[in-house]
Amino acid sequence: MPDAITTGQITPELAGGILTIDLNALRNNWLLLQNASRGAICSAVVKADAYGTGQDQAVATLAAAGCQTFFVAHAAEAFRARAAAPDAIIYMLNGLPPGTAQRIAASGVRPVLGSVAEIAEWRRDAGGAPAALHIDTGMSRLGLSATEAAAVASQGIGAGSGGGHDGVCLILSHFVSAEEPDSPLNDVHIARFTEMSRLFPGIAASLANSSGIMLPQQPHFELTRPGYALYGGNPTPGRVNPMHPVVKLECRIIQLRDVDAGATVGYNARWRAPAPSRIAVISLGYADGFSRRASVRNTGEPQPLAGGAAVVAGTLCPMAGMVSMDLIAIDISAVPHDDVVAGDMVTLIGGELDVDVVAQRLGTIGYEVLTSLGHRYARHYIGEAGATP
């Protein structure tokens, strides 16, 4: 893939926003996480379009780096990953939709069986094709309870028994708060998972997501499952981010305007210029996945969050007023007048505004910022998907 804008006829000067995805950083993050997994196999979680970065490019890049196991949520994502990495192992975290075992088995992707009913269908219809088994250690979302796991184990799992071979070759569970290393829940999950995994001797086990890999307990078992950290998110909140930034979002200033003291900006007049001010209007809004929680108000109700910001000519500038569908106003009064002209790009994600900082300002998590990234940006991929270094 050439190092160029890839959206049809949209050359850089026509693009409203440019989303740059650094595939070299993605590859280096996977290598770092593989190293941190200390001998366990390191897979890659590429659900939700690889956290907004582009599933095809991410899968091809990671497969070329040596990643052989991928996790997605849905069947559509699994079939897509299968096409991008024909030799890889692909697991569907959201389990087996009823009545689909034969189709899923024939496609060569592996469901993560999440209930007794799913196990029964797979055993009956999948002809012993491989699958994973989800056990619940406290999330109460998907997976077998301790009682159900014991009952299933007593029928024999993996090897053929009674009702046939179920093909289970991996058991997994998921932490509820691995990003809080001091949470006592982490030890509870590790203990429960260790105990439940003894019910399934000889079957590989997997517990750690990105933050789980970084826990001092090193709960790596045989396979780790990082997602967020691959895409540059900080798996160790509150500490220095060990990951390389993958995502950069820049957007064009389409108009500059000077407003008088007392002038209001945007819908519902929620921002009032406290002094003569300079406003930059950028070509991006909530339709591009930039949440209305980025709105900055200084009239009416007090502003509960820091709100959105952009780096304009090297200066961090707050947004002004409500985020519109396609436009956001930025208060650039602190930027020297001659340092900025219409057409310049400002940075919304990248540098000091990394994904975790943006999320904190908006009162959400970086996962949501990434997976909300819109589809109107020109996408620019750095590094060739699938190329070896």
Of 73 and 345, which has the nearer Cβ to ligand PLP? Answer: 73
95 binds ligand PLP (CB under 6 A): no
Q: How far is CA 88 from the centre of its chain?
A: 20
**Contact pick of 210, 277, 333, 347 for ligand PLP (by CB under 6 A):** 210
Of 227 and 307, which has the nearer Cβ to ligand PLP? Answer: 227
45 binds ligand PLP (CB under 6 A): yes
**Contact pick of 143, 226, 308, 366 for ligand PLP (by CB under 6 A):** 226
**Contact pick of 122, 193, 200, 228 for ligand PLP (by CB under 6 A):** 228
Contact set for ligand PLP, span 291-330 (CB under 6 A) = none
Among the listed ranges 23-31, 188-196, 224-232, 274-282, the one in contact with ligand PLP (CB under 6 A) is: 224-232
Give the list of residues 6+ apart from residue 84 with CB closer than 8 angstroms, or none. Answer: 55, 56, 59, 60, 63
Q: How far is CA 120 from the centre of its chain?
A: 32
177: its two tokens: 């708060």
Q: How far is the CB of 235 from ligand PLP (least distance, A)?
A: 7
Q: How far apart are CA 147 and CA 70, in angstroms?
A: 29
Q: How far apart are CA 309 and CA 293, in angstroms?
A: 12
Of the candidates 81, 33, 37, the one whose C-alpha atom is nearest the C-alpha of residue 232 is 33
Catalytic residue among 91, 267, 367, 381: 267
Of 183 and 303, which has the nearer Cβ to ligand PLP? Answer: 183
**Contact pick of 209, 234, 277, 347 for ligand PLP (by CB under 6 A):** 209
DSSP 244: P
227 binds ligand PLP (CB under 6 A): yes
93 binds ligand PLP (CB under 6 A): yes
Q: Is 14 exposed, middle or buried (0-12, 13-18, 19+ CB in 10 A)?
A: exposed
> CA 32 → CA 27, 49, 355, distances in Å?
9, 22, 19
Which H/E stretch holds residue 60? helix 55-65
Q: How far is CA 224 from the centre of its chain?
A: 16
174 binds ligand PLP (CB under 6 A): yes
Q: How far apart are CA 376 and CA 287, in angstroms?
A: 9
189 binds ligand PLP (CB under 6 A): no
Q: How many residues bind ligand PLP (CB under 6 A)?
A: 11
Q: Is 248 a catalytic residue?
A: no
130 binds ligand PLP (CB under 6 A): no
Of 220 and 225, which has the nearer Cβ to ligand PLP? Answer: 225
369: its two tokens: 């910022």
Residues involved in catalysis = 47, 267
Footprint of ligand PLP (CB under 6 A): 45, 47, 93, 174, 209-210, 225-229
